[in-house]
Structure 1
Amino acid sequence: MRKIVVLGLVTLAAFTIACSSGNGDTKSSVTGGSSQNVESAATEKTTATAKVGQTVTLTNDTLGDKTTVEITVANPKQFAVEPGDFGSKPDHGVFVVFNVTVVCKQGTYSANPFNFKFVAKDGTVSEGALTVNFKPALNATDLSSGQKVAGKIVFDVPKAAISGGKVQVDGVGLDFDKPAAYWAL
């Protein structure tokens, strides 16, 4: 019985050391101009807020598996109707379309249009809109170090939500469900 307890304690100690080698928190920083830091409601860390067009670098180190990715959200445009002969109209007011570029600098990253949300000034969150005529669309793509992908993301939001709104990207790794950075309009 004593051997089992000792073995269990050794295993627990090894697991604790391995887990403490990286806390898993996604960190964000902005390149190309000034940024703001805003307090995240869920944690005490800060989340970078960039201007649309700036590049944000996300880093995450979970259990020694480091990921570094650069994301740029740029060129916002509004549409009252989707382009094309059979373009749909937005349900909530206006389509807001952004060009997104994702560059994996280290590790691996799953770029996905569903990693992004539109957050209105009042805190209302909108997921990406399902459209077909804003091309090229940002498709879900697994990237390795040195690879990149670019495409458009689309949100269907009330026109009044655009002023003071921002685009949110989710964190990397275990932080997939937490805001990692914002681009302010």
Structure 2
Amino acid sequence: MSQQQDILLVTRLKSNDIAAFDELYLKYFKLLCANAFLFLKNENEAKDLVQTLFLDIWEKKLYEHFHKDVKGYLFLAVKNRCLNFIKSQKVKGARAASFNRFYHEQSGEPEPGNDPADHQEQLRMLLSDMKGQKKAALNMVYFKEKKYSEAAREMGIGVNSLKTHLKSALKTLRLGMANKK
């Protein structure tokens, strides 16, 4: 029976009956808000999202896309809008974090919660765990400030091998520092 009523509402909507829109809104608004809340975990954002959906239904004539299952269409539209909203929030958060890192790098200020002493201690621990040629190459080039050719000669290896060991050592340090954050 409800599906039949929805089909009649859609027919009335297609003839620009504002009363049909009001009926549709009253019938589904709370239900759709509850569904949106399950995704967003925020009542105000859920209500705003559903409100925007209903505005689009009327202004952009989305009701033209309604067929037999109006309820299914509405729930799917809410789900898609929630997922898009969550995705956009993640992108905004990542951009803000990236900007904060860039800002603090440029200003020379440590990021809140990023104590330079902690970073140095993490770096020391990673260096002490490093073994063999990687550690030797890193030590000679970055700490003793030797040229690649000089460090390679002292280690008894070629310059390209030295570069490979350095690349591997730096990757190990980067991964170790990223995992400890």
Asked if these proteins are the same fold (TM beyond 0.5), I'd say no
Structure with the largest fraction of helix: 2
If the length of structure 2 is used for normalisation, what is the TM-score?
0.27
Structure with the largest fraction of strand: 1
If the length of structure 1 is used for normalisation, what is the TM-score?
0.26
**Whose relative contact order is higher, 1 or 2, with alpha carbons under 8 Å and at least 6 apart?**
1
